[in-house]
A = this chain, B = another copy of it.
């Protein structure tokens, strides 16, 4: 059917070993190299990567396991990962887990069967805490989330500081009754909650927080209910872009004025946050840098498996917009 290295060797009048060496830029005389290259061009030969991987025991493939590629944070991260990976001659297998530990386990098994060189993983809290990284057979770089028990490299945001920064910002604008909406499946939500609580306590204020499933729908429902209560907050923080989106929808549905009746702020500088009036105040994550750093870290780990574990902690950037304007 398709032409193999044997066909090319026959056509060029050399051994398959020589063809293989030409393809792999090994030591070959100019004369034979020319003959082989002509035969390759003439036959339209393409090396079979499955055979190459099997024989060389190197898959040159990495896995990228995230909750949902439709989350703009992961969309951007994945694009950055792929760019670095392809440039390094590695392929990427993308997996969407929907924050479901069963799917996470299934994809980790698949990664083993693919004999991947390594995995970049945004794990749920449940998996991050229980994962036996050593038994996996490949290195893992955690992104976005990392449990305290995770014994592997990681690229993270300084979540506590960023959340505290958001609180300080709102306090500086005159808000006191600040509520927080946090995701309940990731360590990220927990850390941002911790930063939120710290900053509120530091100001001698109570820290009202609610934990929800990490989807816009769940956040919308929770915010709707909360804002109808007697002691509803005067400012609301959402711990990621999806939750912030849900909060905005709830607020619009209820006809609540922002920031007049309620100030809003959150994480992730998704494109809609700039365009939704009056503009959302957010912590921008360096999404490209997170993806790039994770992939580079993985490549370095593959080169030196014994190097000490590293955590890269990146700072968020506060983008001030109308949704948190001074209390009037």
Chain B proximity of A309: nearest CB distance (Å): 22
Is A69 within 8 A of B59, CB to CB? no
- Is residue A228 within 8 Å, beta carbon to beta carbon, of the partner chain? no
Residue of B nearest to A272 (CB): B272
Interface size for chain A: under 10, 10 to 19, 20 to 34, or 35 or more residues? 35 or more
Is A113 within 8 A of B49, CB to CB? yes
Chain B proximity of A265: nearest CB distance (Å): 16
Instruction: Name the B residues within 8 Å of A114 (CB-CB).
Output: 49-50
Is B82 within 8 A of A96, CB to CB? yes
Instruction: Name the B residues within 8 Å of A76 (CB-CB).
Output: 70
- Is residue A277 within 8 Å, beta carbon to beta carbon, of the partner chain? yes
Q: Determine how many copies of this chain the complex contains.
A: 2
- Is residue A112 within 8 Å, beta carbon to beta carbon, of the partner chain? yes
- Is residue A79 within 8 Å, beta carbon to beta carbon, of the partner chain? yes
Is A137 within 8 A of B69, CB to CB? no
Chain B proximity of A302: nearest CB distance (Å): 15
- Is residue A221 within 8 Å, beta carbon to beta carbon, of the partner chain? no
- B48, B59, B68, B92: the one contacting A79 at CB < 8 Å is B68
Is A137 within 8 A of B2, CB to CB? yes
- The contact string, 1 if C-beta is below 8 Å from chain B, for chain A 283-315, is 000000000000000000000000000000000
- Is residue A275 within 8 Å, beta carbon to beta carbon, of the partner chain? yes
- How many Å lie between the Cα of A214 and that of B78 in the bound state? 21
Instruction: Name the B residues within 8 Å of A70 (CB-CB).
Output: 75-76, 79
- Is residue A276 within 8 Å, beta carbon to beta carbon, of the partner chain? yes
Is A115 within 8 A of B48, CB to CB? yes
- Is residue A133 within 8 Å, beta carbon to beta carbon, of the partner chain? no
- How many Å lie between the Cα of A78 and that of B70 in the bound state? 9
- Is residue A109 within 8 Å, beta carbon to beta carbon, of the partner chain? yes
- Is residue A12 within 8 Å, beta carbon to beta carbon, of the partner chain? no
- The contact string, 1 if C-beta is below 8 Å from chain B, for chain A 99-122, is 000000000011011110000000
- How many Å lie between the Cα of A18 and that of B151 in the bound state? 38
Instruction: Name the B residues within 8 Å of A48 (CB-CB).
Output: 54, 113, 115
- Is residue A245 within 8 Å, beta carbon to beta carbon, of the partner chain? yes
Is B46 within 8 A of A109, CB to CB? yes
Instruction: Name the B residues within 8 Å of A46 (CB-CB).
Output: 109, 112-113
- Is residue A51 within 8 Å, beta carbon to beta carbon, of the partner chain? yes
Decide: A75 near B69, CB < 8 A? Known: A54-B48, A109-B46, A272-B275: yes
- How many Å lie between the Cα of A112 and that of B276 in the bound state? 44
A-B contact list, 11 entries, CB within 8 Å: A44-B135, A46-B112, A47-B113, A50-B50, A51-B54, A79-B96, A91-B110, A92-B93, A248-B275, A276-B277, A277-B277
Contacts A47-B113, A248-B275, A272-B276 aside, 11 further interface pairs with beta carbons under 8 A come to A2-B115, A2-B137, A48-B54, A48-B113, A49-B113, A50-B51, A50-B54, A51-B54, A69-B75, A69-B82, A70-B75
